Amino acid sequence: MSQTQLQSPASHASTDYEIQVEKLSLEPLNQVGDAEQHGVAVEAKFITPLDPVIETSDGNRLPAVPVHEAHKINVLKDRAEQRDIRRPPAPPRGLSRFRESDSSGDGFDQQTLVQEERTQDSTRLSDAIPPTRTHPLFPPLPLYGPPSLLRKLHCTVFRITAFYLSTAFLGVIVLGSIFTSLPHLMSRAWYGMTFRDPHHRRPFREEEKRRAEIRKQEETQWSKTKRRRLSGIEGSLEPSSSPPGEDYEPFEGGPDKLICDVGYYARRVGLDVEEFKVQTEDGFILTLWHVYNPREYVPASKTERRATSPDIFTDNADGLHQHVQSQYRDGQRRFPVLLVHGLMQSAGAYCTNDDDSLAFFLCKSGYDVWLGNNRCGFNPEHTLLRYSDPRMWAWNIRQMGVMDLPAFIFRVLQETGFEKLGLVCHSQGTTETFVALAKEQRPDLGDRISVFCALAPAVYAGPLIGKMYFKFMRIISPGMFRIFFGIHSFIPLMMTMHRVLPGSLYGAMGYRVFSFLFNWTDTRWDRGIRDRLFQFSPVYVSSESMRWWLGRECFAKHKCILSTEEEDDDDSVEEKEESEARSSNRTRTAWYDEHVPPMALWICGRDELVDGRRLLRRFERKREPYVNLVHTKIIEEYEHLDVLWAMDSVDQVGKEVRQVLWQTMPDDARKICRKVTGTQCDVLQSGQVLEQKDRKHQ
C-alpha cells in the first residue's frame, strides 16, 4: 500500500475537521486565516452532557450548539490528530422520564456522524431552524454558522419583518390596555367631579398618604440642606461618617428623577452600589450589582470588578478576589445573599421601594447583598459576538440556568470568601434555579446554596397562559414565530421607548401595558412611586427565550418547566401515590437528588401567571423526597409582583426571608458573621419546617 493511501484517512479527517471548524467559528476561515487568528473554533466543551459550548483558538467561548455538532468537532479533531476518539458525556438518566417519541435524536451516534457528507451548505439560514418535533422541553437551539452574504441577507429579512409585525403586535397590546383602562379612568373622573377621593377603597390609602407626606418633607429638607451646604460649607455633600447601626443618611435626595440607575436609589436610602462584570461559560458578560454600606466598605477598583476567566468553580490565582472579604474582620462579616430577577425585568426590581426594597432591607439587616442581571439585560455583551449576530440571541431558560446562575454564584463566593450563599429569586429567577438544580442539569450547584428562597415560584403555568395573545404565540409554527418576532431580541422597540420617553410617561405606560398582559393591579402598591417601579423593565431578552415560554413546543404546551407528562391530577393523586409507593418509583421520577438545597416558598394566592400551589402540592406529597421545605407561605391576597412591591411586603415577605436566611446559614459562617438585626437565634434542623403564622398589616 502506498504512503499516499496510508495518509488518506488522516487527510480526509483533517479536511472534515476544517469544514466543521468553519461551521462553528466566529468568521469564515477564508476571512480569518489560520487557526491562530481570532474566534476560530477548536473543540467543544461539555458544560453538562446536553450543554456543549465551543472553545476558540484565542481562549474565548462561543454559545451552545446542538449536541451532535459539538460531538462531531471533537471526533474529527481526534481523528485528524490520530488520537483515541473521546466519548461524549453519557446522557443523564433523568431524561428517561421524557417520552422517546418526542425526541429529535439528540443522541450520540458516532457512526452517523462519520457517514455524514463532508460538504454542507452552512450559509442557508433556513437550515438553522430546528424541526417542529423536538426534545419535549428543551429543543435544540438554532445553529447559524459564521456570517456570510446569504446569512446576512436572511437576517436582514427577519429583522425587517419582525420590526413591522412585532410592532403591530405591540400596538394591539397597547391599544388593548388603553381600551380596558377606560372604565377605570371614567370612574376616577366621576369621583373627581363629585369631590370624592377615587382611591378611598385602596387597602393602604392612609399609609399612602402618610408616605407621600414624608417624601414631601424629605424633599424639602434635602433642598434646604443642599443650599445650606453649598453656601456655607466647601466640599462634598456626602454625609459624615457614622458607626454602623446608626441611621443611614442619604447621599441623594429631592424630587425623584425617575431614572434607570440602581445606585441613585441606593444613595437615596444611605447605601451605594458597585458594578461587577461576570463572564459565563459560553462567553456572555453579565452585570452583577453589589449593594454596600459606604460607611464601612470601600468599593473595589475597576480592575478588580472586571470579568475574568469563563471557567467557574476552579482555583483562581489572579489575586483579584480578596477585596470584599478584606473589608470585614471575623465577627463582623456579612453573609452573602444573591438576588435574581424575573422575566422582562432587571435586578432593579428589588431596589425601587426605598427602605422597603428587599435588597436594601436585607443589606441594612446585615447581609452582603448581590444582584444578578441575566444575559443581555440593558446592554448586551459577549466576548466575541455583536448585537447583530443571531448567535448572540440563541439561548433560552436552559442557558440562563445552566450558565448564568452558576457564574453569578461562583463570582459572589469568590469575592466574599464563603463556601455557600443564600439565594433569593422571583418568578423567572426561580425557574432558572429549579432548572439548574435538576439532577440532569447541574445538581452540584445545590452544594453552594444554603437556602433557596422562591418568591412567586414559576414552575407550573397559571390560567393566564390561555389568554388570546399568548395563545396566538402558541398556535403559530416556529418558523412563523421567527417571522413575527425575529431571531434577535424580542420586540426591541420596547427598549427604544425606554430610552427616549420621559420617566413619568414611560412608567404610566409600562404599568398599563403590563397590567393588561398579566392581570396585575397596583392595589397594594404605593401609587406615589408606581412610575419608579417600571424604570428597570423591560430588558433585552431573546426571541428564542420568549419562544420557550410561549411557543408551541415548550412551557406553554407542557405547562411545567421540568415535566412532560400529566401529573398530580386531583382525581387520581391517591391512586398514583399508592402505585408509586408499591413500585418505589418516586426517586426515579423526582426532579432533584441529594444535592438540592433547603427551600422556602412564598406563593401569591391571586397569581394568575403561575400556579405556586401546584408546586407546593408536589413537595407536600413527597414527590420530591430530597427536598427539605423549611418555610412555606401562601399570601392569599397577593398578586404576582406583590411579593416585591406591596406596601406590606416587608412584613409579609422581607422579615421572613431575613429569618430563613439566618436560620439556614452554615454554622461556620454564623461564627464569623455579624448578628443579623431582627432575627431570632434558633437554627433549623434537617427536615424541620418553620411554624406558619398569619400576619396582618399593622
Residues 6 or more apart whose CB falls under 8 angstroms from that of 669 comprise: 333, 335, 418, 419, 420, 450
Looking at 282, 607, 611, 648, which residue is catalytic? 607
**Which strand ranges, in their side-by-side order, compose the sheet holding 51-56?**
41-48, 51-56, 61-62
Q: What is the DSSP letter of 174?
A: H
315 given a catalytic annotation: no
Q: Is the dihedral of CA 247, 253, 254, 258 positive or negative?
A: negative
Q: Are 640 and 427 in contact (CB under 8 A)?
A: yes
Distance from the first to the final alpha carbon of the chain: 92
Looking at 354, 368, 640, 642, which residue is catalytic? 640
SS3 category, 97: helix
Q: Report the C-alpha gap between 401 and 328 in whole angstroms.
A: 31
Looking at 57, 122, 357, 427, which residue is catalytic? 427
58 given a catalytic annotation: no
Q: Report the C-alpha gap between 513 and 608 in whole angstroms.
A: 16
Q: Whose grid coordinates read 429569586? A: 425
Q: What are the backbone dihedrals phi and psi of residue 95, each rounded to the nearest 5 degrees, phi first?
A: -70, -10
Identify any residues that bridge with 486 across adjacent strands, giving them in sequence order.
none
Q: Report the C-alpha gap between 307 and 312 in whole angstroms.
A: 12
Letter string b/e over residues 204-224, b meaning 16 or more CB atoms within 10 A of that residue's CB: beeebeebeeebeeeeeebee
Q: Report the C-alpha gap between 193 and 209 in whole angstroms.
A: 21
Q: Are 291 and 369 in contact (CB under 8 A)?
A: yes
Residue in 401, 432, 436, 131 with CA at minimum distance from that of residue 282: 401
640 given a catalytic annotation: yes
Enumerate the active-site residues.
427, 607, 640
